[in-house]
A and B are shown apart, each in its own frame.
Chain A
C-alpha cells in the first residue's frame, strides 16, 4: 500500500469531510503511525538479522579459515573445529543462560535470570536496548558476539590444547569473563554503563573492551599458562596455507560490517557512520602493517596485509559509532603499527608462544581502540556521546574500562585454566600426540587426503 499518498489524501480531504468525525480521523492517524513504525521495524529487523548472520560468518568460515591456514597441515581440522564448535556450544549456552546474565536486569556486575531459557524473550521489542526490532533479533545478534569471542582466544593455544580442555575452558571463561564484562559495559545498570544507570561512562560501540580486550588478554594468559608448542621456537612451523588465511581474513573484513555497523542496532544513519569508520580502519590497518613490514623486513607480505587489516578492524571496533568516519583511518594506522610491533618484535623477544597472535592483534588492538575512543569521540554523529565531564574524564573512563576488562580476563582466565586442568586432567595433548597432530589424534581424520 502507498502510505505517503494515502496520508496526503487523508490530510487534504480532512477539511472538506464534514461528515467525518474527529474520532475517525484520530483512528486513521493511529493506523498511519502504526504503519510507519511497522515499516521502520521491518527495515531495522532486516538489517539486524543480516548483521547477525554476518557476525556468525566471521567465526565460520572467517576465523576458522584465517586460523587454520596459519597452522601446520596436521592440525588444520583441529584448528577449524576450535572455532566451529563455538558456533554450537556458545549458541546453546547463550540461549540457556548467557543472554540472561548479560542483558536481564540484575546487579552492576551480572545480569539476572529473567531471560533464562529465552523466557520473556519474544517478538515484542526489548525497549531498553533496541526498541524497533524483535527481542529475539537482539538476542540472536548479541549471541554471535558470544560465539566468536572464545573462538578468538583459540589462536593462543593452537596446535596443542586438548579438545575436552577447550570445551571446559571456554564455558568457564564465558561465566567468569565474558558474561560479567559484557553486562558491565552494555547491560542496563552495568557498572561501566553510565548511560543506562551505571557508574562509569565507558564508550564501547561494538565490543572493543567486551570482545577484543577480554579475549586478547585471556589469550596471553593461556599462552603463558599452557606453554609453547613442543619445539618452539627452534623447529620450523610455517603456515601451511596462506591462501586459506587470505580468504578467511577477507570474510572477517566483510563480516565486521555486521559486527560494527550492526551495533547501531538499527538500519540507521549511525549504522552508515560505523560502516564507513570500520572500513577505513581495516584499510589503514593493512597499509600501516605493510609499511612497517617493508621498513623492517624489506618486503610487503600477503600475511602482513591481512594481519594489518584484522588489527585495524579490532582497533576500530570500540569507537566505530562514536567518532567521525575519517577517524577510522587513525584507529587503523595506530592498530596496524603497534600490533605489528607487538607481534614481530616484542613476541620474538619475550618468547611466549601466542601461536596465532590473538593477544598481539586483538588484545593490543583492543586496548589502543578503547583509549583512542576517548580521544576521538564526538557527539557530532551520535547523541550518546556526552563528554559531560570533559575530554580527559572520558579518556579516564575508557582507561577504567580497559583496566576492568584486563583484570577480569587475567583473573578469570587463570581460574578457568586451573579448573579446566583439574577437570580434564591436563590442558594439553601429550608430546607424542602433539607430534602426530590434532587431526588424527583428536578427530581421527586428516584434512587433506590428496591420494584418496
Chain B
C-alpha cells in the first residue's frame, strides 16, 4: 500500500481554546473541520462536587474534539498551529492524534483524494 497522501488530524483540546484554534487554522487556510463536544480524561484529574453532603467524583470532564483531513504535506504545519493555539502549559491541554486516510470523496461531484478536501 502506497503512503497515504492525506492525514486525519484529531485534536482534543480545552473547550475555552476552541476559538483560538479555529482562528489559527483559518489563518493557515485550513478550510474544513468538524468539532464535537466530548467528555473524557487523560492524566488530568477530575473534580469533586458535593450536593447536600453527597460527594460525586467527576472524572470525565468536558473537552472539544476537532477533526480535519489535510494533505500529508501540510500535516506538520497544521499540527504546529494547533499546538501553538491550544497550549497553556498546564495539565489538561489535550492531545493530537494523526491517522492515515485511505480516500476522500466529495458527495456533490465525485471528486476524490486531495481534490475533495
- A residues with a Cβ closer than 8 A to B are 233, 236-239, 296-297, 299, 301, 303-304, 307, 343-345, 347-348, 357
Contact = CB atoms under 8 A, between A and B. Distances in A.
A303 B50 CA distance: 10
A250 B50 CA distance: 21
Contacts, number: 26
Most chain-A Cβ atoms within 10 A of its Cβ — which of B49, B51, B56?
B51
B31 to A, nearest CB: 27
A348 B54 contact: yes
Contact of B51 (A233, A239, A296, A347): A239
Contacts of A238: 49, 51, 56
Contacts of B89: none
B90 interface: no
A254 to B, nearest CB: 23
B53 interface: yes
B37 to A, nearest CB: 13
A307 B56 contact: no
A238 B49 CA distance: 9
Contacts of B53: 296-297, 343-345, 347-348
B52 A236 contact: no
B45 to A, nearest CB: 17
A233 B55 CA distance: 10
A299 B47 CA distance: 14
Nearest to B53: A344
A447 to B, nearest CB: 19
A236 B49 CA distance: 11
Interface size range of chain B in the complex? under 10
Contacts of A299: 50
Contacts of B50: 297, 299, 301
Closest CB pairs A-B (n = 4): A344-B53, A297-B50, A343-B52, A348-B53
A304 B56 CA distance: 16
A58 B57 CA distance: 34
Nearest to A236: B56
A23 B53 CA distance: 75
A333 B21 CA distance: 51
Main secondary structure of the interface of B (DSSP, over half): strand
A345 B52 CA distance: 9
A336 B36 CA distance: 43
Interface in B15-58: 49-54, 56
A357 B49 contact: no
A357 B49 CA distance: 18
A344 B56 contact: no
A344 B52 contact: yes
A233 B52 contact: no
20 contacts: A233-B54, A236-B56, A237-B54, A238-B49, A238-B56, A239-B51, A296-B53, A297-B50, A299-B50, A301-B50, A301-B51, A303-B51, A303-B52, A304-B52, A307-B52, A343-B52, A343-B53, A344-B53, A345-B53, A348-B53
Nearest to A297: B50
B52 A357 contact: yes
A195 B53 CA distance: 42
A283 B56 CA distance: 28
Nearest to B52: A343
Interface string B49-76: 1111110100000000000000000000
A347 B54 CA distance: 10
A303 B49 CA distance: 12
Contacts of B54: 233, 237, 348
Contacts of A348: 53-54
Nearest to A345: B53
A64 to B, nearest CB: 19
A348 B50 CA distance: 13
Contacts of B49: 238
Contacts of B51: 238-239, 301, 303
A75 B52 CA distance: 19
A307 B52 CA distance: 9
A348 B51 CA distance: 12
A347 B53 CA distance: 9
A245 B25 CA distance: 42
A65 B55 CA distance: 23
Contacts of A233: 54
A239 B56 CA distance: 11
Contacts of B52: 303-304, 307, 343-344, 357
Contacts of A296: 53
A194 B51 CA distance: 43
A343 B50 CA distance: 13
Given A233-B54, A239-B51, 17 more contacts: A237-B54, A238-B49, A238-B51, A238-B56, A296-B53, A297-B50, A297-B53, A299-B50, A301-B50, A301-B51, A343-B52, A344-B52, A345-B53, A347-B53, A348-B53, A348-B54, A357-B52
A113 B74 CA distance: 88
Nearest to A357: B52
B63 to A, nearest CB: 19
Which of B50, B52, B54 has the most C-beta atoms of chain A within 10 angstroms of its own C-beta?
A: B52
